[in-house]
Structure 1
Amino acid sequence: METYIIVLLCIASFFAGFVDAIVGGGGLIQTPVAMILMPNLSVASIIGSLKIPAFSGTSFAAFQYLKQVVLNWKLLILMSVLAFGAAFGGSALLTVVSNDFMKPLLFFILIGLAIYTFKKKNFGQQQEKSHSVKRQMVYAVVISILVGFYDGFIGPGTGSFLVLGFVSILGFDFLHASANAKMVNLATNFGSICLFVIKGKIIWAFAIPMAFCNAFGGWLGAKLAIKKGNTFIRKFFLFVVILTLLRFGYDVFFA
């Protein structure tokens, strides 16, 4: 592989880690770049290889959040275990079928999400604990399985969907939602990595240098998010959702 390709991939990976640490969606940056620069590789090989830098960046971001944000570990462990299994299954399915049929559905979901987030100014600005422990557990199980499978099968935007679920359904504020999303995203990435390693789909020549760059971006993004707080994260979340919308819109109507 030529040096300039690895350099471009590393630059994309840094920005992906930075964005992903704040609100998720880093895959929207590094995935299309990788597919453009390496058109001869299979989708499974690209997605599988990109899970390595994604895991690295998420790890550094999660560590920063853990130092500042108090988490419900009982709930988090349950979500992480379920998300791991769901991502493993999603990645297994990706190796045998195409995921293109999901893009039109995601496009319209994202339109609604962008409108809702923009109109509801207090969305995710404070924690709303209106659920019983049992109901919260049920919602957490559903979110973990659905988003975990999505990450293994499709990938880009997983962190954003986790943040959305934690804010809109579980009632977290953006800071706590981002912190929990990082931890669950670690589990989904690890689940996919296990599957892709077993299948021999990971190309380590570019996965490892990208991992270092993604980690630095994740560390920097998490520190900024913690410093700026909920209002900043909300604005960044809306920005990433709109970019996600544009990306899927292009795939649906022009690709």
Structure 2
Amino acid sequence: MDLAQITIELLLILFIVAMVAGLLDTLAGGGGLISVPALILSGVGPLAALGTNKLQGCMGTATATLMMLRARRVTWHQVKGLMLCAFLGAMLGATAIQFINTEHLNYVIPIVILFIGLYFLVSPTPVNVNSKPLVSKKRYQYLIIPTVGCYDGLFGPGTGSFFTLAGVSLRGKDIITSTAIAKTLNFSTNIASLIIFLMAGKIVWSIGLVMMLGQIIGAWLGSHCLFSINPKYLRILVVIMCFGMLIKYSYDMF
């Protein structure tokens, strides 16, 4: 991206986008559905958009993870093995995406975001009750978690919600516990992906650093509201903003 295209107005808009994405991602997941299209619409290339999104997203998930650990919603012993498996899966996915033709990504990314947006629209909100696990702890840790992590390395939008849904539906956890664990796993996958994108030089630093600040504020606000806001309404907001940006993106492309 040409540095001359980066204006104060653009940075301000992306700062606000990151703050909203951090807030929504902490509360309901799906922040990447907003931030990735916003980066592409601002003129950032597809791979650089994914890399820059990882840079700014790391700070949001780090803030949320710290808040979850400090509030004792999760413990380090509880999540360390899961975080390692998520980390390795994300490194694999982020490495693979580097070898995909950039021109193809111009079409693949909006298609992926479209399907994830539809998932957010039609999928039921997990209930806040414990139920019987459907898969063993080992299969969950060594198969399900790395698979979701690999997806995050490849694309990313919706990863936090996938981790939450997997915890509720496959391991029988209540939604509050599963959401808290998902924040730590999403932080792990973001760090892993960021390492690969850093090595590949696919990050727009001026934009990423500004968006990091927005993510911190949004995630901090979201962490304080996590247990008092109905996630159903937040999901609707995520979907509306997601499809709005996809319509604008499609209009600009065609």
Unmatched segments (≥5 aa) in structure 2 = 1-5
Displacement after TM superposition at 1:224 (Å):
0.3
| Distance of 2:241 and 2:140 partners within structure 1 | 24
Displacement after TM superposition at 1:222 (Å):
1.2
Which secondary structure state, in structure 2, belongs to the residue aligned with residue 117 of structure 1? coil
Q: 1:109 to 1:153 in 2, by over 3 A?
A: closer
Q: Deviations over 1:212-252 (max 9, x none)?
A: 111110010111013x16xx23x24643674598479869x
| Distance of 1:61 and 1:196 partners within structure 2 | 22
Does 1:31 find its partner at 2:28? no
What pairs up with 1:44-83 in 2 under 5 angstroms? Answer: 44-71=47-74, 73-83=76-86
Displacement after TM superposition at 1:164 (Å):
1.3
Q: Deviations over 1:27-46 (max 9, x none)?
A: 111111111111xx321111
| Distance of 2:94 and 2:202 partners within structure 1 | 11
The one-letter code matched in structure 2 to 1:10 is F
- Indicate the residue corresponding to 1:90 in structure 2: 93
Q: 1:247 to 1:154 in 2, by over 3 A?
A: farther
Q: TM-score, normalised by structure 1?
A: 0.82
Q: 1:42 to 1:246 in 2, by over 3 A?
A: closer
Report which stretch shifted further, 208-217 or 99-108: 99-108
Q: 1:116 to 1:209 in 2, by over 3 A?
A: closer
Q: Deviations over 1:5-28 (max 9, x none)?
A: 111110100000000111211111
CA contact (8 A) 2:18 2:214 kept: yes
Q: 1:249 to 1:196 in 2, by over 3 A?
A: closer
| Distance of 2:28 and 2:34 partners within structure 1 | 13
Q: Deviations over 1:180-226 (max 9, x none)?
A: 11100011000011001111111211111110111110010111013
| Distance of 1:162 and 1:114 partners within structure 2 | 17
- Indicate the residue corresponding to 1:159 in structure 2: 160
Displacement after TM superposition at 1:66 (Å):
1.9
| Distance of 1:201 and 1:111 partners within structure 2 | 28
| Distance of 2:220 and 2:157 partners within structure 1 | 20
Displacement after TM superposition at 1:117 (Å):
0.8
CA contact (8 A) 1:25 1:160 kept: yes
What pairs up with 1:88-127 in 2 under 5 angstroms? Answer: 88-97=91-100, 98=104, 100=107, 114-117=121-124, 123-127=126-130
| Distance of 1:109 and 1:203 partners within structure 2 | 25
The one-letter code matched in structure 1 to 2:218 is G
- Indicate the residue corresponding to 2:133 in structure 1: 131
- Indicate the residue corresponding to 1:215 in structure 2: 216
Q: Deviations over 1:96-121 (max 9, x none)?
A: 21455587688667756754516xxx
CA contact (8 A) 1:87 1:191 kept: yes
Which secondary structure state, in structure 1, belongs to the residue aligned with residue 58 of structure 2? helix
Displacement after TM superposition at 1:48 (Å):
0.4
Unmatched segments (≥5 aa) in structure 1 = none
| Distance of 1:214 and 1:76 partners within structure 2 | 23
- The percent identity for this pair of structures is 26
- Indicate the residue corresponding to 2:16 in structure 1: 11
